[in-house]
Every structure is written in structure tokens, then in C-alpha cells.
Structure 1
Amino acid sequence: MTETRKPEIDVPRCTGCGRCVAACPGRHLTLEVAGYRKHALLVKPKACDGCLACLPACPVRAIS
């Protein structure tokens, strides 16, 4: 069985714009507040099917 690719978020690079959250068809991403900043977070990694729709949605390329 092959493992599904999951998005990896570069937290320091993420601006917290929320475009990846909006692009995720399964709603597996959310924005988390850390201090005075927001960043994307994969909250349901087991449910994520690895479609990577979030990848092109990120304007700062914080998702790989």
C-alpha cells in the first residue's frame, strides 16, 4: 500500500492568508493563531487524501 502525500506547511513562511483553507475540498486545513500571527495547520492528516489543491492556492509557496 502506498502512502498518500500530505501537504507540509512552512510555518515561518506562511502569512495566514487562508487561501489554502478555502481551496481544500475536504476542509482538512484551518488557520491557527500563535502569538500575534496566524498560520495554516493540517488538522485532519488522516482524512487528507493528498489532492494537494492547497499547493497552488498558496501565494507565498509555504506549502510543499
Structure 2
Amino acid sequence: MNLKRLFGAILTALGIGGLIYTAILFANTSGANKDIKSLIIYGVLGFVFFFSGISLVKTTKDES
């Protein structure tokens, strides 16, 4: 397995974890300013990690 593909898979897993954590925070939020800021931060980071990992896996050629 290529190192770039492995790194892409790790980024994708971190992104999924961040998005799941955002969903859990969203379900338990009370609407305070601190809650909204953390939702935005974790959501954006999860989104960026997820899509950068997916694009890295897709664009890396499989060389054997």
C-alpha cells in the first residue's frame, strides 16, 4: 500500500471522527455561544480532513 494512500485513509478516518463528534455535540447542545463555536470548529475540521483524505486516496495512482 502506498504511503500517500495510507495517509489519505488516516485523514478520512479523522474526518469521519470529527463529523461524528460534531453530530454528538449538536445533539447535546444547549445553544450557548461556546457550544456554537465548538460545533463550527469541529465541523469544519472534520469536513476538511474528510474531503482532503478522500481526494488524496482518489488521486493517488496505485503503483505495484
TM > 0.5 fold call: no
TM-score, normalised via structure 1 length? 0.26
Structure (1 or 2) with the greater helix fraction: 2
Which of the pair has the greater relative contact order for Cα pairs under 8 Å at 6+ separation?
A: 2
TM-score, normalised via structure 2 length? 0.26
